[in-house]
Amino acid sequence: MKMITKVYRKLVQTLFLLLAKKRCIAVGMDVCVNRYCEFTANTIIGNNCHFNGMRCNGEGKIVIGDNFHSGRDCILITSDHNYDYGNKIPYDHTSITADIIIDENVWIGDRVIILKGVHIGEGAIIQAGSVVVKDIPSLSIAGGVPAKEFKMRDSNHYYHLKEERQYF
C-alpha cells in the first residue's frame, strides 16, 4: 500500500509540473509541485522551487526566485479592478496591474496572500495567514494583516549556509 501511495504521489507531482511548464514563461530545474497550482502565462519560476498549492491571478508578471517554498493555499494577485479613475462605480472593466517579484530562498507559509506591486527580498519568511501589501526586506521575518517585519534572520548564519549551498 505504501508503494502505491508513493507511485501515485509521484504521478500527481509529474502531472502538476507538466501543467506548470505548459502555462508559465519559464520553469527552472528541480521544481516540485506537490498540489494543484494555477500559474499565469506571465509567471517565471526559478530552480529548486516547491509549491504546495498556489493560485496566481492577474495580468502582471510574477517572478519567483530559486529555492522558493510555499505552504498550502497561497494566492498571488497582480491586478485590481480600476475603482479610482474608472468610468463606472464601484469599478469599471479596466484593471490596475503591477508585478510581483519574489527573490531567492523565500519561504511563505500556508494561506499567504501577496498583492500587486510587492517585492519580497532574498531569504525572507512570510508567516502563515499573512496578507503582503508592501515590500518585505531581505532576511526579514514578517507576518500579519497587513504583513509587517517583526524579526530579522541571522545574516551570518544565512550567508554561511548559502555559501555552503545548503538548500532544502
Q: What is the pTM of this model?
A: 0.92
Per-residue pLDDT, 1: 62
155 pLDDT band (50/70/90 cuts)?
very high
Of 103, 117, 120, 112, which Cα lies nearest the Cα of 144?
112
For residue range 57-83, list pLDDT tens digits in order.
Answer: 999 999 999 999 999 999 999 999 988
Return d(Cα 120, Cα 82) in angstroms, integer.
24
Please tell me the CATH superfamily of domain 2-163, with its number: Hexapeptide repeat proteins (2.160.10.10)
Active site residue 119: no
Which residue(s) pair with 96 in the sheet?
80
Q: Which percentage of the chain shows pLDDT scores above 70?
A: 99
State the DSSP code for 158.
Answer: H
Of 81, 93, 119, 160, which is the active-site residue?
81
For residue range 4-25, list pLDDT tens digits in order.
Answer: 788 888 898 999 999 999 999 9
Three-class HEC string of 71-135: CCCEEEECEEECCCCCCCCCCCCCEEECCEEECCCCEECCCCEECCCCEECCCCEECCCCEECCC
Per-residue pLDDT, 120: 98
